[in-house]
Amino acid sequence: MSPVFHFPGMGTLVNMLLIIGGSLIGMFFGKRFPQRVREIVMQASGLVVLFIGVSGLLSAVFTVDGQTVSGNYTLAVVISLILGAIIGELLDIEGHLQRGGEWLQQRMRGHGNSRIAEGFCMTTILYCTGAMAIVGSLNDALLRDATVLCSKGIIDGMTAIVFASTLGIGVLFSAFGVGLYQGMFTLLATLIEPLLTDVVVAQMSAVGSLIIIGIAFNLLELKKFRIGNMLPGIFLPLIWDALMRLF
């Protein structure tokens, strides 16, 4: 994207607008579909999210050399996810997200959707998890290039149509969570950019992809994971690398 039309945070703003637009489309047209169609849409969405999580994990952790497939960062990913889940459980991140969604639900009683909290929590985590949110925010700030976040916004907007058709207005409000999360990386870009080596980004992406797989399990109603409490695990590779540099 040309620097002439760029300003810091532009990519995040576009990402937010696409989520809002997709949510509005889903909310308006989704009510026209019968319940069985909405159910199959959610099942298909769960499979799509599972695919995104698995493909992201494979690309971050595994390398192919000729006919040999080797795994990388396995121990770092395992430790980060488990330790991050413990930290998140103690901080009750999932509870805070749920209470935020319930607060929105109380304010939106007239919209006739009791799944606002679920939609807000699930899509906020989904849209904020993954390497595109981090790398895209850094490119937006440091390289004046919003291409990654605009591409991410298109994907988020398309999935927002599907989710909002069933989960309602809570999906729309996830756009503001995305703005806060990606905006934080944009603001801190000059400070943390030297720490975000290829290895650190790959490890963060792998942990994030595992969390996305957990979201897919929730969507498919195979197992209920407290996904929000696992979020600190995404940042532990970055923190660990920073500590290693200091000591």
Residue 69's DSSP bridge partners are: 64
What angle is formed at CA 228 by the lines to CA 226 and CA 229, rounded to 5 degrees?
75
Q: Is pLDDT of 2 > 50?
A: no
Q: Is pLDDT of 59 > 70?
A: yes
Q: Is pLDDT of 79 > 60?
A: yes
Q: What is the pLDDT of residues 136-182, one digit of tens each?
A: 888 888 778 888 899 889 889 988 988 898 888 889 999 999 999 99
Question: Mean pLDDT across the stretch 70-96?
Answer: 88
Residue 1 pLDDT: 43
Residue 87 pLDDT: 95
Q: What is the pLDDT of residues 211-241, one digit of tens each?
A: 888 888 888 888 888 888 998 998 899 898 8
Q: Is pLDDT of 68 > 90?
A: no
Question: Mean pLDDT across the stretch 36-65?
Answer: 80
DSSP structure string for the chain: --GGG--TTHHHHHHHHHHHHHHHHHHHHHTTS-HHHHHHHHHHHHHHHHHHHHHHHHHHHEEEETTEEEE-SHHHHHHHHHHHHHHHHHHTHHHHHHHHHHHHHHHTGGG--TTHHHHHHHHHHHHH-SHHHHHHHHIIIII---HHHHHHHHHHHHHHHHHHHHHTTHHHHHHHHHHHHHHHHHHTHHHHGGG--HHHHHHHHHHHHHHHHHHHHHHTTS----GGGGTHHHHHHHHHHHHHHH-
Residue 18 pLDDT: 95
Distances in Å between the Cα of 52 and the Cα atoms of 105, 110, 140, 155, 203 are: 29, 34, 23, 11, 16
In single-letter form, the type of residue at position 22 comes to G
Residue 110 pLDDT: 53
Residue 111 pLDDT: 52
Residue 109 pLDDT: 60
Q: What is the pLDDT of residues 84-132, one digit of tens each?
A: 999 999 999 888 887 877 777 777 665 555 677 788 888 988 898 777 7
Q: Is pLDDT of 67 > 80?
A: no
Sequence-distant contacts of 51-56: CB under 8 A, at least 24 apart: 52/209, 52/212, 53/209, 53/210, 53/211, 53/212, 53/213, 53/214, 53/215, 53/216, 54/209, 54/213, 55/209, 56/130, 56/131, 56/205, 56/206, 56/208, 56/209, 56/212
